[in-house]
Amino acid sequence: MKSYQEVYKILITETDYLSGEKIAERLNLSRTSVWKAIQRLQQEGLEIDSIKNRGYKLLDGDLILPEEIEANSPITVQFKPSTKSTQTDAKEAMEAGAKGDRLYLSTSQTMGRGRFQRPYYSPDKGGIYMSLHLQPNLPYQNLPAYTLLTAGAIYKAIKNLSLIDVDIKWVNDIYLNQKKIAGILTDAITSVETGLVTDVIIGVGINFSIAEFPKNLQTKAGSLFSQHTPITRNELIAEIWKCFYETEADELLYLYKKRSIVLGKEISFKKDQEIITGKACDISDQGQLQIELANGEKIWLNSGEVSLTKW
């Protein structure tokens, strides 16, 4: 572990100011090394107060520590401070023979993408960008509804740690105060020889504490925390995947439907270049959305996008 990471681990456990001398003694570092570590942490976006003759105090912000995430969840973690896309990282590792149950994690993406190849805003401060590689080796019809399960796990983790109730918009978006704070992208790879889904990569992007958004996103996107962050990203990441692995699928699907903002609402969607409206009635365990049309007919929507007529 690098010096600045060790200094961070000390500061995050302290509730009062701690002198550079005491930090240096604990870590067997020079005072200059401690000062440089503080500078590095501030460059990483952490808010650290400094008072002469008292020392340093961490006011806000955190540092991603893969070993801490691994210690509190059932997965291994591969971390890069910045990457093109964690989804690409996972695919490249998979093609090179990497085993499943590994999380590819970053705090910045230069080519992040969402559904339909849309760019996903991934700044270098305040975000969580991660992709989990799984190896189900199952027929497609037996595949769990990974997007729904992940959304349920995200809701449960946030609720467990912060008591905040986020909402879920079919099929893959997490909302808070009518603004999107997270998205899920699930890719599946099928073997031509066996017809089985051999690999699944679940990509998750979370606006944890992003302070500013581009003008075109300001009315649509928000963050889980807009000011002080009462939990760390390490805690949230570990809790999400702990909930994903250790919670029964039925419970996660129940939570998904419970927090759905489309069920019971009038929605619209595009089919064959036509905008159709109807009432969202149900969500199947496979993730299909049941819609009742104006004529009373009920149909199932397997994929695509829906819009709420009103919130």
What is the pLDDT, as a whole number, of residue 304? 85
Residue 181 and residue 35 share a domain:
no
- Say if residue 208's pLDDT is above 90: yes
Identify the domain boundary among 238, 258, 278: 258
Instruction: Express each pLDDT in 145-155 by its tens digit.
Output: 999 999 999 99
Residue 70 and residue 29 share a domain:
no
Residue 223 and residue 111 share a domain:
yes
pLDDT band at 123 (very low <50, low <70, confident <90, very high): confident
Residue 142 and residue 36 share a domain:
no
Residue 216 and residue 100 share a domain:
yes
Structural domain that includes position 34: 3-60
pLDDT band at 177 (very low <50, low <70, confident <90, very high): very high
Residue 173 and residue 81 share a domain:
yes
Residue 56 and residue 130 share a domain:
no
In whole numbers, what is the pLDDT of the chain averaged over residues? 95
If one counts the domains in the chain, the total is 3
CATH code, 120: 3.30.930.10
Instruction: Express each pLDDT in 192-203 by its tens digit.
Output: 999 999 999 999
CATH code, 302: 2.30.30.100
Instruction: Express each pLDDT in 42-93 by its tens digit.
Output: 998 899 999 999 999 999 999 999 999 999 999 999 999 999 999 999 999 9
Residue 214 and residue 95 share a domain:
yes
What is the pLDDT, as a whole number, of residue 148? 98
pTM, to two decimals: 0.93
Residue 84 and residue 179 share a domain:
yes
Residue 277 and residue 152 share a domain:
no
- Say if residue 115's pLDDT is above 80: no
Nearest CA to 205 among 177, 233, 178, 231?
Answer: 233
Mapped to the 3 state alphabet, what secondary structure does the chain carry? CCHHHHHHHHHCCCCCCECHHHHHHHHCCCHHHHHHHHHHHHHCCCEEEEECCCEEEEEECCCCCHHHHHHCCCCEEEEECCECCHHHHHHHHHHCCCCCCEEEEECCECCCECHHHCECCCCCCCEEEEEEEECCCECHHHCCCHHHHHHHHHHHHHHHHHCCCCEEECCCEEEECCEEEEEEEEEEEECCCCCCEEEEEEEEEEECCCCCCCHHHCCCECCCCCCCCCCCHHHHHHHHHHHHHHCCHHHHHHHHHHCECCCCCEEEEEECCEEEEEEEEEECCCCCEEEEECCCCEEEECCCCEEECCC
What is the pLDDT, as a whole number, of residue 120? 84
Identify the domain boundary among 38, 60, 82: 60
Identify the domain boundary among 29, 45, 60: 60
Residue 160 and residue 23 share a domain:
no
What is the pLDDT, as a whole number, of residue 273? 84
- Say if residue 116's pLDDT is above 80: no
